[in-house]
């Protein structure tokens, strides 16, 4: 449905008023406790570092609102967006995004998703400023007269909600008694088997066999990737994952349009970040994808299951964190030449993929890998 409507470019300033935060100390929050969330640039706890008194904020002329809003981190986790349903006060490392018209929770969450897709534009070195963020462009469903179609956005977001009509109210409400009901009634064994379960209950000893070093090029064909610039990709009808130098979300930083005559890499291949803060982040991709600069593609030279890929991805991350360093000794110059990992081997001193499979299958959550195997 949402792919059949008209989308139009808007600047953030068209939708939100961007309000700069002012310096608030933790001591102030401690001395003037209240009910208004105090938000800074962190990602933990939805950016909230405490609760401060509203009257004190007004007295000190701090930036705050009692209405629902978004916030965006200026520094630190620059570009990280939170939704504050009860308003908040922001320190100097964050900004309030105050909607120019009244919007509901569904619409707030829609905009948060769009703005988070642009987080990659900002880093610790490239901070969010009022001017650059106000001019940030996002694509929004629009009405026939070219205005944001808030009604359409709300309807679309509501269609994404799970059907909870058959779930007891105690699952949907807060409170100690409800939590106790959950603990008494949830079928833990079924949960563990269906979601967090193991493929196998075998007990595996990692050290019951020999381990040898292998160059990565002995195991994989190493491709340099697309080297695309994320800022130049379009997102009108996005169908292809975009993998960047990130340690989160399987390395996927956005979903973009497929480029004519450029076939995406296939699902099941591995990616590894070659430089930057998240150097060595290695993932098995579960959908077709493009890559940014400094992201290599690993194509197994021999038959390799999803379980062995996860085993090796962990070892690549481990080796990278111990022997390489961002902005100093990065992987770019080493991954195709002298990057090595230690693997368990067979009696013939070949990589023991069967053993790797069995080990991963013995771990919690391994049943989830069957979905992408």
CATH number at residue 129: 3.90.220.20
369 versus 5: the higher-pLDDT residue is 369
Parallel, antiparallel, or unpaired for β 16-20 and 94-99?
Answer: antiparallel
> Looking at the structure, do residues 95 and 11 belong to the same domain, yes or no?
yes
pLDDT digits (tens, 9 = 90+) for 78-134: 899 999 988 999 999 999 999 999 998 889 988 998 898 888 778 656 788 888 899
Structural contact between residues 98 and 63, judged by C-beta atoms closer than 8 angstroms: no
> Looking at the structure, do residues 237 and 367 belong to the same domain, yes or no?
yes
Q: pLDDT value at position 363?
A: 84
Rounded to the nearest integer, the mean pLDDT of the chain is 85
Its pTM stands at: 0.52
Q: pLDDT value at position 299?
A: 97
Q: Residue 196 — pLDDT band, cuts 50, 70, 90? A: low
Q: pLDDT value at position 163?
A: 40
Is residue 182 in a domain?
no
Is residue 48 in a domain?
yes
Angle between helices 353-361 and 306-323 (to 10 degrees): 90
Is residue 183 in a domain?
no
Which residue is it, tokens 């009108």? 236
Residue 205 has pLDDT above 80, yes or no: yes
Lowest mean pLDDT among 245-249, 287-291, 347-351: 245-249
Q: pLDDT value at position 98?
A: 96
> Looking at the structure, do residues 17 and 120 belong to the same domain, yes or no?
yes
> Looking at the structure, do residues 135 and 230 belong to the same domain, yes or no?
no
Is residue 188 in a domain?
no
Q: pLDDT value at position 357?
A: 94
Residue 154 to residues 110, 141, 159, 303, 320: CA-CA distances in angstroms? Answer: 8, 11, 9, 47, 44
Is residue 132 in a domain?
yes
Is residue 32 in a domain?
yes
Which residue is it, tokens 């590894």? 272
Q: Residue 194 — pLDDT band, cuts 50, 70, 90? A: low
Residue 68 has pLDDT above 90, yes or no: yes
> Looking at the structure, do residues 216 and 104 belong to the same domain, yes or no?
no
Average pLDDT over residues 301-318: 93
Residue 316 has pLDDT above 90, yes or no: yes
pLDDT digits (tens, 9 = 90+) for 129-148: 888 899 998 888 888 888 99
Q: Residue 246 — pLDDT band, cuts 50, 70, 90? A: confident
> Looking at the structure, do residues 289 and 364 belong to the same domain, yes or no?
yes
Q: What percent of the chain has pLDDT over 90?
A: 50
Residue 342 has pLDDT above 60, yes or no: yes
Residue 66 has pLDDT above 60, yes or no: yes
> Looking at the structure, do residues 103 and 220 belong to the same domain, yes or no?
no
SS (H, E, C) the chain: CHHHCCEEEEEHHHHEEEEECCCCCHHHHHHCEEEEEEECCCCHHHHEEEEECHHHHHHCCCCEECCCEEEEECCCCCCCEEEECCCEEECCCEEEEEECCCCCHHHHHHHHHHHHCCHHHCCCCCCCCHHHHHCCEEEEEECCCCCECHHHHHHHHHHCCCCCCCCCHHHHCCCHHHHHHHHHHCCHHHHHHHCCCCCCCCCCCCCCCCEEEEEHHHCEEEECCCCECHHHCCCCCCCEEEECCCCCHHHEEEEECCCCCCCCECCCCEEEECCCCCCCCEEECCCCEEEECCEEEEEECCCCCHHHHHHHHHHHHHHHHHHCECCCECCCCCCCCCCEEEEEECCCCCECHHHHHHHHHCCCCHHHHHHCC
Average pLDDT over residues 1-14: 77
Q: Residue 266 — pLDDT band, cuts 50, 70, 90? A: very high
**Dist CA 179 CA 174 (whole Å):** 8
Q: pLDDT value at position 203?
A: 86
Q: pLDDT value at position 206?
A: 85
Q: pLDDT value at position 1?
A: 47
> Looking at the structure, do residues 225 and 155 belong to the same domain, yes or no?
no
Q: pLDDT value at position 31?
A: 92
Is residue 186 in a domain?
no
Q: pLDDT value at position 174?
A: 40
> Looking at the structure, do residues 273 and 134 belong to the same domain, yes or no?
no
| Residue span of the structural domain in which 53 resides | 2-141+151-159
Is residue 99 in a domain?
yes
Q: pLDDT value at position 159?
A: 66
How many folded domains does the chain comprise? 2
Q: pLDDT value at position 366?
A: 74
pLDDT digits (tens, 9 = 90+) for 16-65: 999 999 988 889 998 999 989 999 988 888 889 999 999 999 999 999 99
Q: CA 276 from chain center: how many Å? A: 17
């Amino acid at each position: 449905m949402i792919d059949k409507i008209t989308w139009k470019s808007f600047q953030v300033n068209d939708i939100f008023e961007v309000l700069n935060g002012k310096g608030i100390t933790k001591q102030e929050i401690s001395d003037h406790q209240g009910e208004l969330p105090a938000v800074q640039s962190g990602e933990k706890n939805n950016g909230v570092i405490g609760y401060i008194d509203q009257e004190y904020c007004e007295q000190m002329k701090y930036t705050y609102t009692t209405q629902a809003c978004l916030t965006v981190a200026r520094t630190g986790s620059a570009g990280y967006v939170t939704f504050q349903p009860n308003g908040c006060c922001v320190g100097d490392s964050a900004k309030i995004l105050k909607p120019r018209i009244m919007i509901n929770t569904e619409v707030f969450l829609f905009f948060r998703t769009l703005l988070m897709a642009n987080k990659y534009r900002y880093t610790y070195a490239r901070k969010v400023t009022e001017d650059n963020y106000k001019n940030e462009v996002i694509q929004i469903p629009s009405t026939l007269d070219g205005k944001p179609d808030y009604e359409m956005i709300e309807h679309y977001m509501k269609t994404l909600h799970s059907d909870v009509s058959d779930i007891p109210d105690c699952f949907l409400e807060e409170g100690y008694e409800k939590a106790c009901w959950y603990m008494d009634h949830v079928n833990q064994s079924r949960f563990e088997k269906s979601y967090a379960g193991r493929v196998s209950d075998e007990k595996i000893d990692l050290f019951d066999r020999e381990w040898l070093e292998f160059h990565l090029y002995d195991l994989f064909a190493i491709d340099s990737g697309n080297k695309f610039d994320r800022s130049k990709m379009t997102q009108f009808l996005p169908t292809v994952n975009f993998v960047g130098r990130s340690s989160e979300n399987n390395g996927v930083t956005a979903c973009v349009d497929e480029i004519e005559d450029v076939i995406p890499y296939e699902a099941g291949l591995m990616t590894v970040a070659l430089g930057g803060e998240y150097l060595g982040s290695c993932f098995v991709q579960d959908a077709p994808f493009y890559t940014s600069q400094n992201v290599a593609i690993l194509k197994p030279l021999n038959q390799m299951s999803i379980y062995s890929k996860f085993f090796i991805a962990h070892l690549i991350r481990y080796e990278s964190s111990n022997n390489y360093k961002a902005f100093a000794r990065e992987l770019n110059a080493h991954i195709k030449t002298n990057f090595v990992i230690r693997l368990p081997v067979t009696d013939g001193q070949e990589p023991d993929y069967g053993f790797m499979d069995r080990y991963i299958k013995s771990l919690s959550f391994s049943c989830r890998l069957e979905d992408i195997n």
